[in-house]
Amino acid sequence: MVSGSYDAIGDKLEESQTAGNGGPLAQTALQNSEVALAESVEAQAFLKRVLDASKDCIKVLTLDGAIIFINNGGRDAMEVDDLDNIVGASWIDIWSGADALAAQRALEIARRGGSDQFVARTSTLKGRMKHWHVTVAYLPATSGKSGHVLSISRDVTLETEAEAQREMLSHELSHRIKNSLALAQAIGLQTFRGADPSKQQHFSGRLAALATAQDLLLQTRWESVPVSDLVDRTLSPMCSGDQCLIDGDDVRIDGRKGLALALAIHELATNALKYGSLSVPTGKVSLSWSSSDGLFKFTWVETGGPMVNNPTTKGFGTRLITRNLESDFMGSVELNYVPSGLVLSLTAPI
């Protein structure tokens, strides 16, 4: 028989046994009931084999959350030597802290006929900490008896630990990248020591922008980054008060484009602080982007700054906001020094 006192499985058995007494009809009934009994015993054995073959921890609870059954896989998973230690115990008490709240919630839902899932951790009876993915569902009643609650917990410790390990490596990698960039910055500045200080500042500013963008990208495993995050992280240190008006769709771009855009925004902002609209308190920068019909559009419009002139030389800064953007976005950039301020617009397939 199965562990615990799970009487629902025994219901059919009881019914077939009470049918067996007296008369020819009763004879047939007896034969029928013997067949039924045999079928029932077979079905029961079959169900038991199914339960035993599962590596998941399958438990049946009363509606109050008392454990009345646990399968063999569950006993192994929870390292239960003595069934008395778990049968009759409160299922909620297995969990602690926020996990206990999640369990309480799930039990409440199941009790009302629904089902719920949560991920939680608890240690086995021998004290080994494990992570579980738990599904809780209502188990309907048979023949007028009250229903039960079914709890199926899958041990996801290996997956959870692998994810934590990946997370840790990612942080470590991020730290090392930033440290390497900081060292490159130190070497660069020492190499060009005595040179034009504004060039040194440009160099360290660009490296910082690169590091910020890489950090954001690492958080998303280099897959894609929301344009709004990129804009926010790159621009916020350079914008005071309400000088920057930012408005854009919820769009994500890939790593290569993200780096190019971060460097371009940094360059535009540095330029605006020095010569453009951010160099005066009344100046504004309006940044907007959108994605529709397969086209990504990004615009940077400066107003209220000093009169601008088309620069005579096309330095590295200009190339960062034109050629580099065009190349990495495979799109086109228009850069105009109109009298009211600089206007840049990028159009690219997304």
Among 55, 171, 314, 323, binds another protein (CB under 8 A): 171
Residue selected from 54, 62, 124, 200 as contacting another protein according to rule CB under 8 A: 200
Min dist CB 233 to another protein, Å, is 9
> Which of 44, 174 has the CB closer to another protein?
174
The residue among 30 and 218 lying less far from another protein, judged by its C-beta, is 218
- Using CB under 8 A as the binding rule, whether residue 175 contacts another protein is answered as yes
Retrieve residue 144's tokens.
Answer: 């007028």
Instruction: Based on the shown chain and the rule CB under 8 A, indicate whether residue 111 belongs to the binding site for another protein.
Output: no
CB of 181 to another protein, least distance (A): 5
Q: Which of left, alpha, beta for 79 (phi over 0: left; psi -120 to 50: alpha)? A: left
Segment 5-44, which members bind another protein (CB under 8 A)? none
Residue 229 φ then ψ, to 5°: -65, -45
Q: Is 113 in the site for another protein (CB under 8 A)?
A: no
Q: Is residue 174 within the footprint of another protein (CB under 8 A)?
A: yes
User: How many residues comprise the chain?
Assistant: 350
Q: Alpha carbon of 317 to those of 193, 196, 202, 325, 339: distances in Å?
A: 21, 16, 9, 12, 20
> Any contact of residue 183 with another protein (CB under 8 A)?
yes
The residues, ordered by sequence, that sit 6+ positions from 123 with a Cβ below 8 Å of its Cβ are 129, 130
Per CB under 8 A, 220 contacts another protein = no
Question: Looking at beta carbons only, is 5 or 179 nearer to another protein?
Answer: 179
Cβ closest to another protein, residue 13 vs residue 273: 273
Residue 334, phi then psi, degrees to nearest 5: -115, 125
Binding residue for another protein, selected from 142, 212, 318, 340, defined by CB under 8 A: 212
CA distance 32 to 18: 12
Given candidates 88, 113, 114, 197, which one binds another protein under the rule CB under 8 A?
197
By CB under 8 A, the count of residues binding another protein is 26
User: Quick check: 193 binds another protein (CB under 8 A)?
Assistant: yes
Contacts with another protein by CB under 8 A lie at 171, 174-175, 178-179, 181-187, 189-190, 193, 197, 200-201, 204-205, 207-208, 211-212, 215, 237
